[in-house]
Structure formats: C-alpha cells, structure tokens
Amino acid sequence: MKVALIKYNAGNIQSVAYALNRMGIEPIITDSEEEIRASDKVIFPGVGEASTAMHYLKEKLLDRLIPSLNQPVLGICLGLQLMCRFSGENATDCLAIFPLDVRRFPPEGKVPQIGWNALSQLKNPLFKNIKEGEYVYFVHSYYAPVSEFTVATCEYLLPFSAALQRDNFYAVQFHPEKSGETGAKILKNFLEL
C-alpha cells in the first residue's frame, strides 16, 4: 500500500511517519502531484498557523490538488482546519472541502487545549473498535463547529468536531500519532478504508 504524507511547511510530519513505521508502513513524504495522486491513501498532517500554511499550499498548487483527490484523505489537526472553508486564525480562506468556518475557543478558557480528552458520538468506520469516551491527545486553539459532517465530538469550553467526514475526505482535530493505542487503531482503520 502506498501512503503519501503531504509535505508542506507545517510540523508534525515526522511523528506521523514514525507512527506509520510502527505499523509496518513506509510512507512517502512528498509535495509532488504525481506521487500524491498515485498513492492509495493520503495523510495531510499539520501543526502550525493557518495563513502561512495556506500560502505554502498555494505556492505548490496543493490547494488545487488536495480537494481534487479521489482516494481516502486524512487531515490531522491543522490539516482538519485547512480542509474547512475559512479559519479565524489570521482570517484565512482555506480549502473548502468542508463548508465550515474554524473559530478560536472563547477567551474565558485556557487556550490552547493541550492534553487528553474523551471522544463521543462516534459514527464512522474510522472509529471501528473504539469505545465512546476513549481518550485522544489534542493541541489546538481553534475548532470546527459540530455540523452534519461531524463523525465524533469532544467538549472543551463548548462541544466541537473531533472528527469530520465528507465523501473520501476524513479529518481529525486530535493527534492519532500521539494518542497511544487508540490513535494507532484509528490510523489503522483509516488505512483499511
């Protein structure tokens, strides 16, 4: 199975690659359209700031490529946010795969949310063999609201989308690569889609 990790100027690619290595998969880390299109699965990881990341995606024409992919695509953390229509982080137009606007958590809470939090309302093959209330690891100041595309929720100051799905596009706000056994199962489920 060929797995492509989209290379752009947002961190975290290496930890996702190591998580896949532990599962016996050697991903290719690439920003090449040919290599990405030829892959069976595509992972769009990310840690960073929305406007800088979008600038890089546009420079490499990845902003056109990603929404046009037909194989299963998994966005992680900033990847999820960039797959939405707009981010409140520096008022950034994003990829619009999900017609949602990403917002900053309200200022009365401790932001960013850093740490473990429980998943609920799981409804997707991504969460096969995952129980309600299992914990995964988050680091984020912005969130996608709960919508018709939400396939898992979480609560931090307010309910938000822990995972989204539309057609062949999947996205998680948490870091499966840092979420122990639960995260490894979710990555495995994605690879088996």
Of the listed 148, 177, 181, 192, which one is catalytic? 177
Q: Which two tokens stand for residue 141?
A: 């100041």
Half-sphere exposure of 2 (CA within 13 A, CB side): 13
Of the listed 26, 33, 77, 108, which one is catalytic? 77
Other C-beta atoms lying within 10 Å of the C-beta of residue 115: 11
Orientation angle between helical segments 180-191 and 13-22, nearest 10 degrees: 80
Q: Report how far apart, in Å, the C-alpha atoms of 16 and of each of 62, 64, 71, 177, 192 are.
A: 19, 23, 19, 5, 17
Of the listed 132, 175, 181, 192, which one is catalytic? 175
Q: Which two tokens stand for residue 98?
A: 């999900």
- Catalytic residue at 55? no
What strands lie across the sheet with 84-87, from one edge to the other?
A: 92-93, 84-87, 98-104, 142-143
SS3 content of the chain, % helix, strand, coil (to 5): 30, 35, 40
Catalytic positions are 77, 175, 177
